Structure 1
Amino acid sequence: MIVAEDSVLLREGLVRLLQEAGFTVAGQAGTAEEALSRAARCRPDVALMDIRMPPTHTDEGVRAALALRESLPDTGVLLLSQYVETGNAVRVMAREPRGFGYLLKNRVADIGELTDAVKRVGAGETVVDPEVVARLMGRPRVAGGPDVLTPREREVLALMAEGRSNEAISERLYISAKTTETHVRNVFTKLGLEPCPEDHRRVLAVLAHLQAS
């Protein structure tokens, strides 16, 4: 994998944590352009990339992620952000959520959560930071939005948006598989979303709905 982060201290810290967790870090980068160059040479399984990078510190990381996915579609991308940014990052994920993740930097302190996100993105899953999901769900809703859901259905929706399978949702909420299936079906019905057997497409549907509302 490669790590792209303009803060030298944070980048070196990330590299050390990932290496200690058993990952092979094949390259580091301080700019989006450098990240693309190193990715082209290393062809990593996962690219860990800051959203805001030089020179403008706005959306260079997001644009680089798009370019990387176009040139290396099998490389998973895990975006890191200091703050909840629900615009471009979510739109990028909505284009092709498979093997894409969005994590807030404060999660880096939890090595278990960080390594889990890297592994899931590398395996082609979608990872969305729970705080990002909460922010999206907390926006003023239009008719037919998540406000029509019960509290339990909102919990299920949030876990779906994190890329969790029905089995994982059942374990997290301590409910039966049948009950989870019922809640998922109700969520899709109430939001007017067609269910799909592929988890990453469920995330796509949920994120697209939340962002557009």
Structure 2
Amino acid sequence: MRVVIAEDGVLFRDGLVRLLGESGVVVTSAVGDAPTLLAAVAADRPDAVIVDVRMPPGQRAEGLEAALRIRAGHPGVAVLVLSHHVESVHTARLLADDAHGVGYLLKDRVADADELVDTLRRLIRGECVVDPIVVGRLLDRRAEGPAAVLSAREREVLALMAQGRSNAAIGRLLGLRPKTVEAHVRSVFARLGLPESADDHRRVLAVLGHIRGSR
């Protein structure tokens, strides 16, 4: 697996390089700004990119803007946004059209290197991995939309579905019986007008499609 890292914090960037290297990942470039990231992707042709949201030169959403350009110019490169921040507008654009190979995780919620490497592998396979908190922020942008009809528990289930969790995993995380989870999932799909699917990946895309449509 070949990866480019874009992170302006030197200590965090060096730590990522070390952790990924110890896990057998080849870091072809580790850069600190968006323009250098774009040049590195063009030169290295990596399997995946890890990028922060706020980067030089402006420290606004240059990382997400670069991610959008990578998706447009290098559709075969998976993109993992790894940040402390949730930037809703650009995130919704990043997930638009085709969410295959796109991920968004919060730095302080990544438990260890194994979880990070597993996420990268899933993205390279074409999956979509989004932190439930990110999903919640996107849903909160349209509180008056269809998601407003969901109960608090149904919103928790929806967020975990968008992370790619199976019904069994949702039950373990929320302490719910399998039949209770199934009932919540059916209710979520019915209230949002989404087709049911036993395929976890298709469920993720359906949920993200709803989020995009409710901007």
Q: Which runs of 5+ in 1 are unaligned?
A: none
Deviation of 1:175 after TM superposition, in Å, equals: 5.7
Q: 1:33 aligns with which of 31, 35, 43?
A: 35
Corresponding pairs, count: 212
Report SS of the residue matched to 1:94: coil
TM-score by length of 1: 0.83
Distance 1:140 1:31 in 2: 32
Question: In the alignment, which residue of structure 2 is the partner of 1:116?
Answer: 118
Distance 2:165 2:96 in 1: 16
Question: In the alignment, which residue of structure 2 is the partner of 1:159?
Answer: 160
Superposition pairs for residues 89-168 of structure 1, below 5 Å?
89-108=91-110, 110-138=112-140, 141-142=143-144, 144-145=146-147, 147-168=148-169
Report SS of the residue matched to 2:164: coil
Q: 2:75 aligns with which of 73, 76, 81?
A: 73
Distance 2:102 2:173 in 1: 22
Q: Deviations over 1:78-114 (max 9, x none)?
A: 0122222222113211332111011112235633432
Paired amino acid for 1:12 = D
TM-score by length of 2: 0.82
CA RMSD of aligned residues (A): 2.7
Paired amino acid for 1:87 = V
- Percent identical among aligned pairs is 50
Deviation of 1:126 after TM superposition, in Å, equals: 1.0
Q: Which runs of 5+ in 2 are unaligned?
A: none
Distance 2:40 2:207 in 1: 33
Question: In the alignment, which residue of structure 2 is the partner of 1:202?
Answer: 203
Q: 1:82 aligns with which of 60, 81, 84?
A: 84
Distance 1:117 1:39 in 2: 19
Q: 1:15 aligns with which of 14, 17, 23?
A: 17
